[in-house]
């Protein structure tokens, strides 16, 4: 049936094409609004500069800070506390340069808001040393030349530390899987894997320290 005949039929029934479309549009609008024109509550908007009080437990020390709710843990660690061992990489959870330990497990600091980190134990690269003495993973990375440019190395070390805290004697395949979330642009993976194995040996010799 062509448009003209369809229009004639609707006119005969008292409904034009235009009126029909207007009725359909009104019905759709009513279904979206639930048939009411009552105003919906406006969501609360937090001003960008509003500060929140938080206390962060980092490397065994308590830090009381005023921060913006939008700041990432990565930003606060580096820019507010000056712990620059935690590196800025992709800032979207893909490279692993910002890896820290959260309650002993490796996590990306760029994907965690600082306000979410209150009440948990955070460890950065600086927390693995004892004075001038390197931790077992750091020592193993030096022994096995497990870095070239070195930019990804802090994140690699923190990922290895988290792996060895949950699995003190990983196989090479377990090491590959455990370190897969950390990218090395220089391609030093064979030496990184050797370093993790060596770190496991050092930790066992020191009683799992």
Q: What is the pLDDT of residues 130-172, one digit of tens each?
A: 888 999 999 999 999 999 999 999 999 999 999 999 999 999 9
Closest CA to 161 of 57, 55, 56, 59: 59
Domain encompassing residue 67: 49-126
| Non-local CB neighbours of 93 within 8 Å, separated by 6+ positions | 108, 110, 111
Angle between helices 153-166 and 136-143 (to 10 degrees): 120
Does pLDDT of 31 surpass 50?
no
- Per residue in 43-54, pLDDT (tens digit) is 556 566 689 999
Residue spans of beta strands (DSSP E) within 45-149: 52-58, 61-67, 99-102, 105-108, 121-123
Domain boundary among 111, 126, 141: 126
Rounded CA-CA distance 155/95 in Å is 9
Task: Report the pLDDT value the prediction gives residue 207, as an integer from 0 to 100.
Answer: 78
Contact 163, 203 (CB under 8 A): no
Domain boundary among 67, 97, 126: 126
What average pLDDT does the structure give for the chain?
A: 86
25 lies in some domain: no
Considering its fold, how many domains does the chain have in total? 2
Q: Is the pTM of this model over 0.85?
A: no
One domain for residues 90 and 56: yes
209 vs 104 pLDDT, higher one? 104
What CATH number did the domain enclosing 156 receive?
Answer: 1.10.150.120
15 lies in some domain: no
Q: Looking at residues 21-36, what average pLDDT do you find?
A: 50
One domain for residues 117 and 144: no
């Amino acid at each position: 049936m062509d448009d003209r005949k369809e229009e004639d039929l609707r006119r005969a029934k008292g409904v034009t094409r235009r009126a029909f479309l207007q009725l359909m549009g009104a019905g759709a609008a009513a279904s979206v609004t639930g048939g009411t024109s009552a105003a919906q509550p406006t969501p609360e908007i937090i001003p960008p500069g509003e500060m929140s009080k938080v206390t962060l437990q980092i490397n065994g020390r308590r830090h009381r800070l005023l921060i913006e709710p939008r700041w990432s843990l990565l930003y606060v660690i580096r820019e507010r506390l000056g712990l620059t061992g935690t590196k800025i990489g992709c800032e979207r959870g893909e490279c692993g340069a910002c890896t820290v330990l959260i309650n002993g497990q490796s996590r990306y600091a760029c994907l965690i808001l600082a306000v979410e980190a209150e009440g948990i134990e955070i460890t950065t690269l600086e927390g693995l040393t004892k004075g001038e003495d390197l931790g077992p993973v750091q020592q193993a990375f030096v022994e096995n030349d497990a870095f070239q440019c070195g930019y990804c190395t802090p994140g690699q070390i923190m990922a290895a530390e988290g792996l060895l805290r949950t699995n003190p004697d990983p196989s090479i395949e377990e090491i590959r899987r455990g370190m897969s979330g950390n990218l090395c642009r220089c391609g030093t993976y064979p030496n990184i894997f050797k370093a993790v194995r060596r770190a496991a040996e050092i930790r066992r010799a020191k009683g799992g320290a």
